[in-house]
């Protein structure tokens, strides 16, 4: 096929327009990844000369009990937050797309507010709510006669990880809800009308029409929440710092300690690369699964 | 005229931030970076004094000061970024805790030869030079306030229950029993902030070792003792006993700084173990009826001595790659002068300054705190390597949370230290 001069000019303009953004992406996204990998192969305290140690940092990580514990916590964290955020987000989206609901913009805003609140502020608020001695959560439990459930949510190793998962879900469900709402609104209404005419019940409509059609959206939501679950740092850092005694330690908090408190930048970077590989593999699997089952309409 | 430019990298040190204001959390949130004069320091009681000091130096030496102001806990990565970004750095104002790392990493100019500071040392409290001398070389000059610790108590509550402040451990128990019907906790502490837990250890270990805690720490780090030795385990037992006897406010490990200070000032807890840096915070908008008193940290056993813990001011050092080392030294000299030390001392209500010619604050609490200085031992985490420090922090928190035993905590710390030694750690005295 012959490429016309007009086409060539269009391409040139297109690439020229893309170039600045591409350069920014290259410098601030791609280069740090490669430089990070380079750092992960070094023994470096951040100040002194680097010493190349090959995959020594990676070997150390797989023998580091605290790192492995943190990785395990990340897996649990990711599983529960992905499930929690997506189920709640989907249910909320169904509720918030019903035409019978009054004051819809207000409801949507209310559920989206936690997303726009800074994580630091959100974390601090929750640290007060969950405070064992004067926190609202325990006070409420006591008020309704469930004082047996009141506890030190953030310092009891048995519940601390679960508590963090709950707070994370509270923070990010609104974000996933918005994506589900967008997905639901893009679905063709004829299908639903036809289903209802054929006598389908609401549950059947959701199960056999909504969910299959929403698979690409579900895929996006799972992917973003999965990445969020593995890369969580701020909430954990603010609420527990990874404690007590590593009970809520996740890879990013461990990496922070190692790199910036113990001055082992190379080792800390290696930890993040291991996490990157884990997330990458899971993302590929998840994308393949959702792509295979996607429906077109 | 050629205007030289001196860049001063300012770090909001723990001690500095605490001493200055009691607005530590605010400092933690505001991490300024850039060539700005809008320092965190400008939001603190000493802010105006610092600003004046910089201005005076600029005028006197016809220079322009650029400040980069970071919170202590983010300092290392911020400094790393500044260094890699080629920012001009001439003077470092460090948390004393960071000095050892910076000195041993070759980031500082040794203060000897051309950069001899013997004239400055003459006006400083001798103990400060000792703290900032590592491997036989002085690396920094102490500026600002020297700190100590003690047990603050709420005089109104104590009057109400008719008791005197605790002197020994068993007094805590008597007070606890009298407070219980009132629903007031005996002690509060910022347990969520793990780096504050070692304060309890410093004092406890200091008492237990009859004041030899620094020497024994040095011996341990040289491998002549172990963290699993009886003295360490016993210190952990004492600290855990505080929790077992329900002396801490419920959920102590979930309290951040604001919550801990808040519970004390609001009368939800009767006592608070803390440093001299808390005094300005107690004086800043106290609630009605809040009248804090101060005594020595109670002794765990009758025959133990009173021991307190504190720091030797902030470390002012010359950055090794500074292009203006002479000017940097001049800035340090200027900063530590009698006149400027007085300016800062007054603004920050320092209990005692590193400059021996400058009297400390006349606040009644500061006057009491000054009496604690003769029995004050330097923070041991200024000596511990960061890995050991962190191990202490998390284990002390867990001990109080009753999630570990004294023996297991000691083993954990020793394992961390053994691992460090395996990787080549060597203590430099």
Q: What is the pLDDT of residue A1?
A: 57
Q: What is the pLDDT of residue A2?
A: 63
Q: What is the pLDDT of residues B109-143, one digit of tens each?
A: 999 888 989 999 999 988 888 889 998 999 999 98
Q: Do β-strands B269-275 and B185-188 pair in parallel, antiparallel, or remain unpaired?
A: parallel
Coil, helix or strand for A1?
coil
- A36–B contact, CB cutoff 8 A: no
- Look at A133 and B77 and tell me if their CB atoms are within 8 Å: no
What does the pLDDT average to over B318-333?
Answer: 88
**Residue A224, number of CB atoms within 10 A of its CB:** 18
Q: What is the pLDDT of residue B390?
A: 93
- Residue A107 CA, chain-centre distance (Å), reads 23
Q: Where are the domains of chain A?
A: 5-52, 63-290
- In sequence order, the 6+-apart residues with CB closer than 8 A to the CB of B178 are B161, B162, B163
Q: What is the pLDDT of residues A109-145, one digit of tens each?
A: 899 999 999 999 999 999 989 988 788 999 999 999 9
**Residue B351, number of CB atoms within 10 A of its CB:** 27
Cβ burial, residue A259 (10 Å; 0-12/13-18/19+): buried
Coil, helix or strand for A231?
coil
Among the partner residues A245, A259, A263, nearest to B403 by beta-carbon distance: A245
Euclidean distance between CA atoms B154 and B185, whole angstroms = 12
- Look at B394 and A246 and tell me if their CB atoms are within 8 Å: yes
- B254–A contact, CB cutoff 8 A: yes
Q: pTM of this prediction?
A: 0.83
The CATH number given to A63-290 is 1.10.3720.10
Chains A and B: how many Cβ contacts under 8 Å?
95
Cα A152 to Cα A149, A235, A297, B270, B402: the distances in Å are 10, 17, 50, 21, 12
What does the pLDDT average to over B404-421?
Answer: 96
Q: Which residue of B has its CA nearest to A158?
A: B403
Concatenating the DSSP letter of every residue in B359-398 gives -----HHHHHHHTTGGGEEE-GGGTS-HHHHHHHHHHHHH
Beta bridge partners of B71: B12
Token pair 């031992």: residue: B377
Is the pLDDT score of B343 beyond 70?
yes
Among the partner residues A46, A47, A152, nearest to B254 by beta-carbon distance: A152
**Which residue of B192, B266, B400, B406 to mutate against A (max A Cβ within 10 Å)?**
B192
Q: How confident is the model at residue A293 (pLDDT cuts 50, 70, 90)?
A: low
Q: What is the pLDDT of residue B5?
A: 47
Cα B287 to Cα B20, B281, B379: the distances in Å are 20, 12, 31
Euclidean distance between CA atoms B262 and A133, whole angstroms = 13
- A131–B contact, CB cutoff 8 A: yes
Is the pLDDT score of A77 beyond 80?
yes
Beta strands in chain A (DSSP E): 42-43, 51-52
- B314–A contact, CB cutoff 8 A: no
Residues in A closer than 8 angstroms to B254, CB to CB, are 127, 130-132, 135, 152-155
Q: Report yes or no: B151 and B306 within 8 Å, Cβ to Cβ.
A: no
Task: Give me chain B's average pLDDT, please.
Answer: 85
**Residue B244, number of CB atoms within 10 A of its CB:** 11
Beta bridge partners of B152: B272, B294
Q: Which two tokens stand for residue A212?
A: 């299959």
- Look at B259 and A128 and tell me if their CB atoms are within 8 Å: yes
Q: What is the pLDDT of residues B4-54, one digit of tens each?
A: 445 555 544 333 433 333 333 333 222 232 222 223 455 566 778 888 888
Among the partner residues A154, A245, A260, nearest to B77 by beta-carbon distance: A260
Q: How many CA atoms lie within 13 A of B265 on its CB side?
A: 18
Euclidean distance between CA atoms B343 and B427, whole angstroms = 37
Beta bridge partners of B407: none
């Amino acid at each position: 096929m012959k490429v016309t001069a007009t086409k060539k000019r269009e391409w040139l303009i297109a690439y020229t327009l893309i170039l600045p953004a591409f350069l920014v992406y290259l410098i601030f996204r791609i280069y740090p990844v490669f430089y990070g990998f380079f750092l992960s192969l070094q023994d470096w305290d951040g100040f002194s000369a680097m010493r190349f140690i090959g995959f020594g940092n990676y070997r150390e990580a797989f023998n580091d009990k605290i790192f492995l514990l943190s990785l395990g916590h990340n897996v649990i964290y990711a599983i529960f937050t992905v499930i929690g955020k997506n189920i709640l987000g989907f249910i909320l989206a169904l509720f918030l797309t019903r035409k019978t609901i009054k004051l819809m913009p207000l409801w949507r805003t209310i559920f989206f507010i936690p997303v726009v609140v800074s994580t630091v502020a959100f974390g601090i608020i929750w640290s007060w709510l969950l405070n064992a001695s004067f926190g609202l959560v325990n006070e409420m439990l006591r008020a309704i006669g469930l004082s047996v459930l009141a506890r030190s949510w953030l310092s009891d190793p048995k519940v601390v990880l679960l508590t963090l998962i709950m707070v994370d879900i509270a923070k990010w469900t609104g974000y996933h809800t918005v994506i589900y709402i967008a997905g639901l609104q893009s679905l063709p209404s004829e299908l639903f009308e036809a289903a209802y005419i054929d006598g389908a019940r609401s549950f059947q409509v959701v199960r056999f029409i909504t969910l299959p059609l929403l698979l690409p959206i579900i895929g996006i939501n799972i992917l973003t929440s999965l990445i969020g679950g593995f890369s969580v740092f701020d909430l954990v850092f603010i609420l527990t710092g990874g404690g007590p005694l590593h009970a809520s330690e996740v890879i990013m908090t461990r990496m922070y300690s190692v790199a910036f408190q113990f001055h082992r930048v190379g080792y800390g970077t290696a930890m993040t690369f291991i996490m990157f590989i884990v997330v990458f593999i899971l993302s590929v699997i998840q994308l393949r699964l959702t792509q295979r089952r996607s429906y077109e309409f | 005229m050629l205007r030289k430019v001196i860049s001063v990298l300012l770090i909001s040190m723990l001690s500095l931030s605490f001493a200055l204001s009691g607005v530590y959390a605010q400092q933690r949130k505001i991490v300024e970076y850039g060539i700005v004069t809008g320092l965190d320091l400008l939001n603190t009681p000493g802010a105006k004094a610092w600003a004046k000091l910089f201005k005076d130096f600029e005028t006197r030496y016809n220079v322009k000061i650029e400040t980069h102001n970071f919170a202590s806990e983010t300092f290392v990565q911020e400094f790393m970024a500044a260094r890699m970004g080629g920012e001009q750095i001439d003077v470092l104002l460090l948390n004393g805790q960071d000095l050892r790392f910076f000195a041993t990493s070759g980031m500082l100019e040794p203060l000897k030869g051309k950069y001899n500071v013997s004239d400055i040392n003459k006006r400083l409290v001798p103990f400060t030079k000792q703290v900032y001398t590592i491997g036989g070389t002085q690396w920094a000059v102490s500026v600002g306030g020297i700190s100590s610790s003690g047990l603050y108590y709420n005089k109104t509550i104590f009057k109400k229950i008719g008791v005197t402040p605790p002197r020994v451990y068993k007094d805590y128990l008597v007070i606890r029993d009298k407070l219980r019907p009132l629903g007031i906790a005996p002690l509060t502490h910022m347990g969520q902030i793990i780096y504050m837990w070692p304060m309890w250890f410093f004092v406890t270990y200091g008492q237990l070792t009859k004041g030899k805690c620094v020497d024994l720490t040095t011996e341990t780090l040289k491998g002549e003792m172990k963290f699993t030795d009886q003295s360490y385990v016993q210190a952990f037992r004492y600290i855990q006993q505080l929790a077992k006897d329900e002396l801490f406010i419920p959920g102590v490990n979930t309290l951040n700084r604001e919550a801990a200070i808040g519970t004390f000032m609001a009368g939800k807890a009767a006592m608070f173990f803390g440093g001299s840096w808390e005094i300005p915070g107690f004086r800043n908008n106290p609630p009605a009826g809040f009248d804090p008193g101060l005594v020595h940290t109670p002794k765990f056993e009758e025959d133990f001595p009173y021991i307190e813990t504190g720091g030797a001011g902030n470390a002012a050092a010359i950055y090794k790659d500074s292009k203006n080392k002479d000017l940097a030294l001049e800035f340090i000299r200027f900063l530590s002068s009698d006149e400027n030390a007085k300016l800062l001392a007054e603004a920050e209500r320092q209990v005692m300054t590193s400059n021996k010619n400058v009297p400390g604050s006349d606040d009644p609490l500061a006057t009491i705190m000054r009496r604690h200085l003769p029995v004050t031992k330097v923070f041991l985490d200024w000596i511990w390597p960061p890995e050991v420090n962190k191990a202490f922090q998390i284990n002390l928190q867990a001990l109080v949370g009753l999630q570990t035993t004294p023996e297991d905590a000691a083993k954990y710390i020793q394992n961390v230290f053994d691992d460090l030694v395996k990787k080549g750690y060597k203590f430099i005295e």
